[in-house]
Amino acid sequence: MEQQVIDAVSRHPHVESIRLVGSRARGDARDESDWDFRVEVNDFDAVASALPTLLSRLDPIAQQWDRLSDKHCWMLIVAGPTKVDLIFPDKPHEHESPWTPNAETLAGIDAHFWDWMLWLRSKVAADQHELVQAELRKLFDHLLGPLGGQAIPESIEDAIGAYRAVRDRAEIAFGFQVARLLENAVAPALIGAAEKADGLS
């Protein structure tokens, strides 16, 4: 994965460097850990607009900007499922407002939800219980609540059930159905994590 991402992104003439960082670089990653890359560029706008094309050779199932990161971060999920983050350390990013659900945003909301759950899987595996709880509260504020959710989920399994219920209702309300390709790829990988997380308080 490391060389595939580096080869894909470094093709752009305005990419000055890209290197693996985080747990994968330190050598203490778990099987569930993300692949994080630090990307330095001399023309951010040019690179940003080219990312979907550059990364097409990885056949991503989903990709989008992280709405809640302190630095601009391009998130993608590839077969596995595996989460990859491209972090641009020199480009500060203000956290965005909670999602506003409508027919145009449901697909983005869906990608954000499953990416978030895949990331949380690694935190559950690392027994970071307090972080998981905080993220589930944030998930409710930014995504589940706007969709009509009524309670903060207590686990990954609870979040998945709540999301499916409010998404299904939103699809009817807005006359738009989200493709299930991403869900079908990610949800099975979350089963073990969901069982471990169940009952966190």
Domain ranges of the chain: 2-92, 106-197
**pTM of the model as a whole:** 0.92
8 Å CB contact between 22 and 34: yes
**pLDDT beyond 70 at 200:** no
Q: Which one-letter amino acid corresponds to residue 150?
A: Q
Q: The domain 2-92: what is its CATH number?
A: 3.30.460.10
Residue range 30-62, pLDDT digits in tens? 888 999 999 999 999 999 999 999 999 999 999
| Mean pLDDT, all residues of the chain | 94
Closest Cα to residue 180, out of 120, 106, 122?
A: 106
* Beta bridge partners of residue 93, listed in sequence order: none
* Beta bridge partners of residue 67, listed in sequence order: none
8 Å CB contact between 55 and 8: yes
Q: Which two tokens stand for residue 92?
A: 């500060």
Residue range 1-37, pLDDT digits in tens? 999 999 999 999 999 999 999 999 999 888 889 999 9
> For residue 196, what pLDDT is reported?
47
Closest Cα to residue 85, out of 68, 93, 73?
A: 73
9: enclosing H helix or E strand: helix 2-9
- Tell me the pLDDT band of 191, cut-offs 50, 70 and 90: confident
- Tell me the pLDDT band of 195, cut-offs 50, 70 and 90: low
Q: How far, in Å, are 88, 104, 120, 195 from residue 190 at the CA level?
A: 28, 27, 9, 9
